[in-house]
């Protein structure tokens, strides 16, 4: 069974490389692209973003600062004391996100072009099952190390 996880790891590395090429073309990282997607989906406060992306606040702050300096995101102070910030995509941010999403969809289309729909659905099912199994294995390993 070790070969399955090795193959999955190689496929993940290849996907990471292809996705990096796409995002780099638009001068953002994969992490910044994911953050732009969250903001587009109205996840606009740092707390909500940190939870949605499972990031610590210092990493998130660096990414938001980078996106702001690139002109892709704007921030607005809100609340009684104006210390909470809400983020929104700028026009350039919307365009950049749309371009990356289009290129990423083209990658997906190219990868799965010859896959029948039923095989694509089976792959989703199997990957979800694998993810749950990995989570269970992680829990068991954590218990064993205690």
Q: Residue 52: which residues within 8 A CB-CB, separation 6 or more?
A: 38, 43
**Range scoring the smallest mean pLDDT among 22-36, 47-61, 74-88:** 74-88
Mean pLDDT computed over 9-13: 94
| Token pair in block for residue 122 | 């089976």
**What's the pLDDT at 2?**
66
Each residue's pLDDT tens digit, 87-116:
999 999 999 999 999 999 999 999 999 999
Mean pLDDT computed over 22-34: 96
**What's the pLDDT at 144?**
66
| Token pair in block for residue 46 | 């740092």
Give the chain's radius of gyration (CA, Å). Answer: 19
């Amino acid at each position: 069974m070790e070969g399955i996880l090795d193959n999955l790891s190689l496929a993940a590395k290849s996907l990471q490389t292809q996705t990096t090429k796409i995002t780099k073309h638009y001068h953002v990282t994969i992490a910044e692209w994911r953050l732009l997607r969250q903001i587009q989906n109205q996840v606009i406060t740092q707390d909500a973003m940190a939870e949605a992306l499972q990031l610590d606040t210092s990493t998130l702050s660096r990414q938001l600062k980078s996106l702001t300096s690139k002109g892709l995101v704007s921030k607005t102070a809100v609340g009684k004391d104006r210390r909470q910030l809400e983020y929104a995509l700028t026009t350039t941010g919307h365009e950049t996100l749309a371009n990356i999403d289009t290129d990423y969809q083209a990658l997906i289309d190219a990868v799965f072009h010859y896959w029948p729909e039923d095989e694509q659905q089976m792959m989703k099912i199997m990957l979800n099952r694998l993810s749950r199994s990995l989570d269970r294995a992680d829990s068991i390993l954590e218990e064993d190390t205690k």
